Amino acid sequence: MRRLTVFNNISLDGYFTGAGGDLTWAYAAPEDREFNASVEGNARGGDLLLLGRITYEMMAGYWPTALAALQKPVLAGWMNALNKVVFSRTMDRAGWANTRLVSDGLAEEIRRLKAGPGGGLTVLGSGSVVAQLAQAGLVDEYQLVVNPVVLGAGRTLFEGVVEHLPMTFLRSRTFANGCVLLCYQAG
């Protein structure tokens, strides 16, 4: 069975987006080659990327651009070539290469994908998708990068989750830029 991993940045006070959806804080840590290599390696851990509409629009607005190819050529090539599924009830089409749109049945689609052939499934960003999948017990692992910043307001990654979700600690890694990767197994 395919594994589903959530990879997200969070602030010290537990937000994955700042007020108004701001994400600039997640990219404000000082340059750190070891951190960048780790994030790139993690991002390449699956063969299907799962996104909500907001994260999809943000990524589709950057990764296919000449700027992305200039700034992060290896990662841009990989992101553009990767198969993607965007979950949205409001979009009518997804124009980013190798992207399929699913408008209904999030949990059912994930169960189908997990039972099918292939490598890992990865969710980036996409807070409402993460919360729904967490509540349905479909996430296998959470990889959370704690950033050295307090936002004071924003959205939590598990907004809307009403049950306790027990986790088992797997590993951690500290980086020179102040970020800490925390990995937990669900259940």
- CA distance linking residue 139 with residue 34, whole number of Å: 27
Closest listed residue to residue 60, CA positions, set 32, 35, 91, 31: 91
Query: Which CATH number does the domain 4-186 belong to among 3.40.50.1820, 3.40.430.10, 3.30.470.20, 1.10.10.10?
Result: 3.40.430.10
DSSP state of 116: S
Going residue by residue through the chain, which has 187 residues, state the pLDDT in tens, using 9 for 90 and above.
999 999 999 999 999 999 988 889 988 877 788 887 887 776 566 789 999 999 999 999 999 999 999 998 988 999 999 999 999 999 999 999 999 999 999 999 999 999 999 999 999 988 899 999 999 999 999 999 999 999 999 999 999 899 899 999 999 999 999 999 999 999 8
How far is the C-alpha of 161 from the C-alpha of 174, rounded, in Å? 28
Q: What is the pLDDT of residue 30?
A: 76
- 182: which 2 tokens? 């925390």
pLDDT the model gives residue 31:
79
What is the predicted pLDDT for the residue at 42?
A: 67
Cα distances from 25 to residues 82, 85, 127, 170, in angstroms, run 26, 26, 17, 26
Residue 156: Cβ within 10 Å count: 16
Give the SS3 label for residue 52.
strand
Task: Indicate the domain borders of the chain.
Answer: 4-186
pTM exceeds cut of 0.95: no
Query: In the structure encoding, which two tokens stand for residue 95, read together?
Result: 């124009």
- Compute the residue count for the chain: 187
State whether residue 124 is helix, strand or coil: strand
Contact 177, 32 (CB under 8 A): yes
